[in-house]
């Protein structure tokens, strides 16, 4: 990436500072850390993890939900560039087909991409997709839960769950559970694409379906992303028994069609420093291709594990996490 306004002074002040300390300051300051500036500084600090080697994913397959636009589109392009065969899991097959053709042309391989239809918020659709994939999809190196939405008003999924809870928590848990036979054949890696917005919210233990009080799409989105992160330790233990690791990452503030549509004022105000889609997808791709594999059950940003709570009062108790997991497991028909 090219030089950015303010990057030179930041690097100048970094001289003599401990890299980890500077990294932590960027993270806590949010504005520089979540933008292109933060990534630009971190890439220049000692200890930045190496990029995946060319061909790191040759012979491997990865499935990505929400792959028809934004970070999902960039993720499948970058995974295919490393040699992966990518499965685009999308609601709109026509849009998915267009991205798949883009992937094939860029990779120079006709078998580089395949499109599957699935509405991740619809648990019946998830079950049908998983059944079809197990019949004909083959083994998976990775599964990326990228599909997301920020609804302006409370919306129910086909099973009656609040939409963000269904799309960001319930659907991904059910899909991963259902695809474990494919993932466990090759030390599979699961990545939940979360959001730094989750830092602002507590785990919604009392009201996971957001059925009480005035509804805010941005709050619902952040609550569900908090839920993803707080489930990591349990999911790591549960899926680790199958040889499958699980990670969550937040992409920082990246300019995508979804951000432009859902938060247009925010997108316009920060446009000069918003990350590109490739910069937003960087850690997701790295987590899937890194060798040796990163440790399971952690929350990542810019290729480093991050704390899961920084705002006072947002760190849940173990009892809260257990209660939230029981709600999620019950909703998708699992034994906690």
Query: 């995974």: which residue's tokens?
Result: 79
- The mean per-residue pLDDT over the stretch 19-46 comes to 87
pLDDT at 10: 47
User: CA–CA separation, 113 vs 78, rounded Å?
Assistant: 12
C-alpha closest to that of 161 among 218, 88, 95, 210: 210
C-alpha R_g of the chain: 19
Q: Of the residues 199, 210, 215, 221, which is catalytic?
A: 221
Task: Decide if pLDDT at 9 tops 60.
Answer: no
Upper half-sphere CA count for residue 161 (Cβ side, 13 Å): 22
**Residue 210 designated active-site:** no
> Torsions phi, psi of 129, nearest 5?
-60, -45
pLDDT at 258: 73
Instruction: Tell how far CA 69 is from the center of its chain.
Output: 14
Task: Decide if pLDDT at 62 tops 50.
Answer: yes
Q: Which domains does the chain have, with CATH numbers?
A: 54-332 (3.40.50.720)
Residue 29, H or E segment: helix 19-29
> Torsions phi, psi of 10, nearest 5?
-65, -45
Per-residue pLDDT band at 24 (split at 50, 70, 90): confident
Task: Decide if pLDDT at 113 tops 60.
Answer: yes
pLDDT at 150: 94
Taking each helix axis from N to C terminus, what angle separates 318-332 and 217-230, rounded to the nearest 10 degrees?
100
Residue 245, H or E segment: strand 245-249
- % helix, strand, coil for the chain, step of 5: 50, 10, 40
First to last CA, the chain: 45
């Amino acid at each position: 990436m090219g030089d950015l306004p303010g990057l030179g002074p930041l690097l100048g002040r970094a001289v003599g500072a401990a890299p980890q300390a500077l990294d932590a300051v960027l993270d806590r300051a949010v504005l520089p850390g979540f933008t292109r500036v933060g990534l630009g500084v971190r890439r220049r600090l000692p200890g930045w993890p190496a990029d995946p080697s060319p061909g790191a994913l040759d012979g491997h397959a990865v499935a990505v939900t929400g792959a028809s636009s934004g970070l999902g589109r960039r993720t499948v392009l970058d995974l295919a560039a490393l040699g992966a065969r990518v499965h685009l899991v999308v609601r709109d097959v026509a849009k998915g087909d267009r991205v798949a053709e883009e992937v094939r042309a860029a990779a120079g391989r006709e078998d580089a991409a395949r499109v599957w239809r699935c509405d991740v918020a619809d648990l019946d659709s998830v079950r049908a997709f998983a059944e079809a994939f197990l019949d004909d999809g083959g083994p998976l190196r990775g599964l990326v839960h990228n599909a997301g939405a920020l609804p302006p008003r409370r919306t129910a999924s086909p099973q009656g769950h609040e939409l963000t809870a269904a799309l960001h928590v319930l659907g991904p848990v059910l899909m991963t559970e259902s695809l474990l036979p494919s993932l466990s054949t090759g030390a599979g890696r699961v990545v939940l694409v979360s959001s730094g917005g989750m830092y602002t919210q507590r785990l919604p233990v009392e009201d996971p379906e957001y059925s009480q009080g005035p509804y805010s799409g941005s709050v619902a989105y952040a609550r569900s992303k908090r839920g993803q992160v707080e489930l990591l330790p349990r999911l790591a233990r549960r899926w680790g028994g199958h040889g499958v690791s699980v990670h969550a990452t937040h992409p920082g503030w990246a300019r995508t069609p979804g951000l432009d549509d859902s938060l247009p004022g925010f997108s316009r105000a920060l446009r000069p420093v918003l990350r590109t889609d490739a910069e937003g997808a960087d850690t997701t791709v790295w987590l899937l291709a890194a060798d040796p594999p990163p440790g399971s059950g952690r929350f990542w940003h810019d290729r480093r594990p991050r704390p899961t709570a920084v705002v006072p009062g947002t760190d849940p108790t173990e009892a809260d996490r257990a209660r939230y997991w029981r709600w999620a497991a019950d909703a998708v028909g699992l034994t906690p």
